[in-house]
Amino acid sequence: MTTTAPTIKIAIEIADKGWEKALPDVAKMARKATRAALKAALSAPSLPRKRLREAGKIELGLILANDRGVHHLNRDYRGKDKPTNVLSFAALDGGLPPKGVPPSYPWALGDVVLGLGTIRREAKEQGKTLSQHTCHLVVHGVLHLLGFDHEKARQASVMEKLEREILGALGLPDPYQ
């Protein structure tokens, strides 16, 4: 088991330039939220995929898209013909590399895709800043890549508690209030 924190590589693609107009520091903000989520989740006793603690290197992608792109992905991969705020696509079967893969090899977690229009609308409806809501959804999406879920009440409680802790450490308010 790795005793030091893994090296983290975050690839960010800004597919919709509207993100940079709305939040000029969006890439920096998203990296900070991603690193905070990974750090907290990897040390959490509730981590669903505990072998992730063995990783020496972790890679993931964040795609800052528009609602049209997210709509297509949501329809094609989830069968839901509408845009959504965030989608997570885990890259590895079960979220982990096969046993025997050296920790020095990068463990690719997958991609998180965010839809600007939906996030902007939700932030306004919920009385949040776009920055706050975006950070929350980055954290939420990264936790999904790590195996957290909210389909059942107990899972939702665990995931939401961790989200609150991560966002609080970033100086952000509770997203569920």
pLDDT, tens digit, 9 for 90 and up, residues 17-66: 999 999 999 999 999 999 999 999 999 999 998 888 888 899 999 999 99
Domain extent at residue 72: 8-169
59 DSSP β-pair partners: 9, 108
- What distance in Å separates the CA atoms of residue 121 and residue 110, rounded to the nearest whole number? 26
* Domain presence at residue 174: no
The pTM score is 0.94
Inside any domain, residue 130: yes
Per-residue tokens: 160: 């939401």
Q: How open is the CA angle 32-106-6, to the nearest 5 degrees?
A: 50
How much of the chain is in helix, strand and coil states, percent to nearest 5? Answer: 50, 20, 35
69 in any annotated domain:
yes
In a domain, 40, yes or no: yes
**What's the pLDDT at 2?**
46
**CATH number of the domain that 122 lies in?**
3.40.390.30
Read off the pLDDT of residues 111-162 as tens digits, 9 standing for 90 and up. 999 999 999 999 999 999 999 999 999 999 999 999 999 999 999 999 999 9
Q: Note whether residue 2 is domain-resident.
A: no
Q: 80 and 134 in contact (C-beta within 8 Å)?
A: no
- The structural domain count of the chain equals 1
